Structure 1
Amino acid sequence: MIRSEFTVVGGSYAGLSAALQLARARREVTVIDAGQRRNRWVDEAGGTSHGFLSRDGVPPGELASIARDQLLRYPNVRWLSGMADDARPCDDGRFSLRVGTSTVLSDRVVIATGVRDELPAVAGLAERWGRSVFHCPYCHGHEMEAGQIGIIASSEMARHHAIMLSDWGTPTLFLNGAFHPSEDDLANFARRGTRVETTRIVRIDGVADIILEDGRRMSMRGLFTQPRTHMASPIAAQLGCVLAEGPTGAFIQVDSMQQTSVPNVFACGDAARAAGNVALAVADGAMAGVSAHRSTMI
């Protein structure tokens, strides 16, 4: 049995940020991490992270590694590698978390487990995820070099990409049978210079070439789509946290201080946002860590 004042579940950007605040408050912190960062595909592709102040263009794995090394310099931090697959509230107000054969008993929990992306079922898309297929224009739009951008619709959320992405290049929206734009939608797309293609996609080839059912090949600088998101861990539900439904999937409902519906359980990062990025995850994590610490004084 491992006893800990604070346990942060998830050692990516939000979790590391939360743990750092608690470590610097001289509190005992345990971080549980399974090494499943949402953007690990970018590392495998040799890509970089963008939009994070002072670290623009740095590989995301390098960001996480530096943050972990800095966190572990604090002697009051314990790191457990593994998946927290079972979490339960205890009768005394504490929380029990199982990690492999170990059990952590904690006074307070910060959930930073992130989300899992469900990609559209288009042949060749998953292999290019994080390489030439993306979901966030603010993270990857600038690297399109103002060229041809393909938008593969997977839901009505594609209309937002269709309107936004003309600021980063020349977009073509491939409906692929995912939704039917209204007349107002089509007018807005035209106003923004976005072309609409109704022929279905057979597969993605090369770097970002779209092969259509009629045999046409349309070469793109890069592709964007709208993955469906799922909670990457069941522990929020196991602890009884209320979930909210966002435009792409469920996320943990929190207040402005990252407090969940369960006392002494906090949440941050993509698991507690309708949409996010590295910078927002770090900010949310800092707030969650501060809030968890302040809760000991109430």
Structure 2
Amino acid sequence: MHYDVIVVGGSFAGLSAAMQPARARRKVLVIDAGEPRNRFAGHSHGFLGQDGRTPSAILDEARRQLLAYPTARINPGRAERAAITGNGFEVRTEDGETFEAARLVLATGVRDILPNVPGLAGLWGRKVLHCPYCHGYEVAGGPLGVLATGPMSMHQAELISDWGAVTLFANGQFEPDVDQRRTLENRNILFEQSKVIKLQENVAGGLIVRLDDGRSAGVRAVFTAPHNMMASPLAEQLGCAFNEGPLGRAIVVDDKQQTSVPGVFAAGDAARLMHNIAFAVSGGAMAGVAAHQSLVFG
């Protein structure tokens, strides 16, 4: 079946994008493997009207609302190949199904590359966090840690000190210069040079940060800024341009979410360097509207 728009990725950006052409009575297919980036988080915060709900509950409702439109469909597959054709685009899933559309929206997201610290992966999304606007309020008021992953961790520590007393754990990834040390002192941020060898949850629900010299520190939560990579190869297969950011790549888009490849739009974490549910929904809506308008106006 030939669709007007195929959206690859069915999380916040993708469902928001699909809603727009579906409401314009266009045939829309969402291809989604069901692995949203924030599936490790217990609750979502900072998203207007949905604050405190679980990400899965928000997405379940969004899928229900999208599928109320008779021209919308969701395929629970993993898109593994995309190509430009004479009629637009072709997308193939890992089970061999092939779909065609006149326009393509990539809402494929990114994959986090977590620091290699024992215990960290099992705490990701609960006690090891990345975004203070998403999770800071819930852990505010007590001691907090920032686990460095590079020079950007200095900025992260400064920011998070608004939520509590911060210790910046260098972990061999960052060495502040004289001016940065002065900034840390002015913000009352402790700097810990020793390597972090383990994170573990304590009985009170906080974290114990164990150091290689035998010492340990207790914190309510640890923030870190993991590097990330594209969760899907489709943008590269299609020849889309990328921006290189301090933590990873992002697909280049204009103010209408159009990529460097005509007819291909992108939204969500894969298409911006700052990541947030509200940003993803906004970018998805613009991508969906722009994709539809390009069908009308060429």
Tell me the TM-score normalized by structure 1. 0.96
Whether the aligned pair in 1 keeps the contact of 2:9 and 2:106 (CA below 8 Å) is: yes
Which residue in the other structure is 1:232 paired with?
A: 231
Q: Distance in 2 between matches of 1:35 and 1:246?
A: 26
**How far 1:155 moved relative to its partner?**
0.9
**How far 1:101 moved relative to its partner?**
1.9
Q: Which string of whole-angstrom CA distances, capped at 9 and with x for unpartnered residues, describes residues 68-111 of structure 1?
A: 11001100001111110011111x15111101221001110000
Alignment of 1:139-218 (within 5 A): 139-206=134-201, 207-218=206-217
Q: Which string of whole-angstrom CA distances, capped at 9 and with x for unpartnered residues, describes residues 230-272 of structure 1?
A: 0000000011111111121011000000000000000000000
Segments of 4+ moved more than 6 angstroms: none
Q: Which amino acid aligns with 1:21?
A: Q
Which residue in the other structure is 1:6 paired with?
A: 5
Alignment of 1:31-180 (within 5 A): 31-42=30-41, 47-90=42-85, 92-99=86-93, 100-180=95-175
> In the comparison of the two structures, how many residue pairs are matched?
292
Q: Distance in 1 between matches of 2:200 and 2:74?
A: 42
Q: Distance in 2 between matches of 1:189 and 1:26?
A: 55
Q: Which string of whole-angstrom CA distances, capped at 9 and with x for unpartnered residues, describes residues 28-83 of structure 1?
A: 100000001000011xxxx2100000111111111111101100110000111111
Q: Distance in 2 between matches of 1:160 and 1:137?
A: 12
Q: Distance in 1 between matches of 2:181 and 2:24?
A: 54
Q: Which string of whole-angstrom CA distances, capped at 9 and with x for unpartnered residues, describes residues 164-213 of structure 1?
A: 11110110000011011111111111111111011111101124210111
Tell me the SS of whatever aligns to 2:145. Answer: strand
**How far 1:145 moved relative to its partner?**
2.7
Tell me the SS of whatever aligns to 2:37. Answer: coil
Q: Distance in 1 between matches of 2:103 and 2:122?
A: 39
Q: Which string of whole-angstrom CA distances, capped at 9 and with x for unpartnered residues, describes residues 210-239 of structure 1?
A: 011121121100000110010000000011
Q: Distance in 2 between matches of 1:57 and 1:272?
A: 26
Q: Distance in 2 between matches of 1:275 and 1:120?
A: 19
Q: Distance in 2 between matches of 1:155 and 1:122?
A: 15
Tell me the SS of whatever aligns to 2:21. Answer: helix
Q: Distance in 2 between matches of 1:193 and 1:291?
A: 47
